[in-house]
Amino acid sequence: MIWETTTLNCRGTLVDLKTPIVMGILNVTEDSFSDGGKFTSPDASMQQVATMLQEGATIIDIGGQSSRPGAKQLSPDEEWTQVEPHLRRLIKTFPQAIFSIDTFYSQVARQSLDLGVHMINDISAWQTDAELLSVVVEYQVPYVLMHMQGTPGTMQQDPSYEDVIVDVLDFMIDRLRTLMEHSVHDVIIDPGFGFGKTIDHNFRLLKNLNAFKILEKPILAGLSRKSMIGRALDDAKRDRENSTTVLHTLALQGGAKILRAHHVQNAMECIQIWNRMQQSDLPLTPDEEEILHK
């Protein structure tokens, strides 16, 4: 039997993962692949966070740097300039909310944690900035460990694997060993859909997502509005919300505990339907038994 983490200690606030949760995405950049420019003003980001929390988001993940393929990489100072005014207002306005900082820079992570952010979402697994590991160890906050082949600027230039499942698992095992050696236990696994993967790699990872249960850590699925949808449907301009819900359902079936989503309400409805379906595994009531055997 595989043991699995069922709670996260977010700086004293325990998050229950027995039931899947939603991590709402807040991009405060001009060039994010999906909603770039919509939430660059603090007023707009405030309204969006209020909406996501009302719709049921457990965690709000704030990013000040685009990680779309080919995106220009900002410096730590430039990224901090993007996120700092939003973080200050949001943490003050929503003191009960749990905020995550989406960054691969140790400087931005440390400054965000000092403001009151609760966790770190790092697409690079501290490969971009080795000091980020030290920050995670020092603050002992939950850490999203994601796999990416290459960098956002190069990752979609002919990504290749001997076996994408085995290769990503080996990477995770190696990084988890380091984290465990430093007593960092609240780790979330993100296979990195779209980060240095072809469409076939992405769908193979999704189809075999339950293989990552062997790591005994909660799985995060970052599938919302990804380009794999447009490529699968041969329509890059298609609205991706309906297809995102399909992918979220498949991710839940594969064991995902966190859905990272742009549209929180849709993801929450997906989880609610999924939970209701799980209840159907309960033993039949006497009335149901009688009807079944008539």
Return the percent helix, strand and coil in the chain, to nearest 5.
Answer: 45, 15, 40
Q: Which of 217, 225, 226, 240 is catalytic?
A: 226
> Which of helix, strand or coil describes residue 67?
coil
| Token reading at 257 | 């505990």
User: Residue 146's beta-bridge partner residues?
Assistant: 190
CB atoms within 10 A of CB 122: 26
> Given 175, 217, 257, 260, which residue is catalytic?
260
Annotated active-site residue 231? The verdict is no
Give yes or no: 38 in active site.
no
CB 81 within 8 A of CB 46: no
**Where would I find the H helices in the chain?**
42-55, 76-93, 106-115, 131-139, 164-181, 199-207, 227-232, 241-253, 264-279, 286-292
Do residues 264 and 57 lie in contact, with contact meaning Cβ atoms separated by under 8 Å?
A: yes
Residues labelled as active-site residues: 226, 260
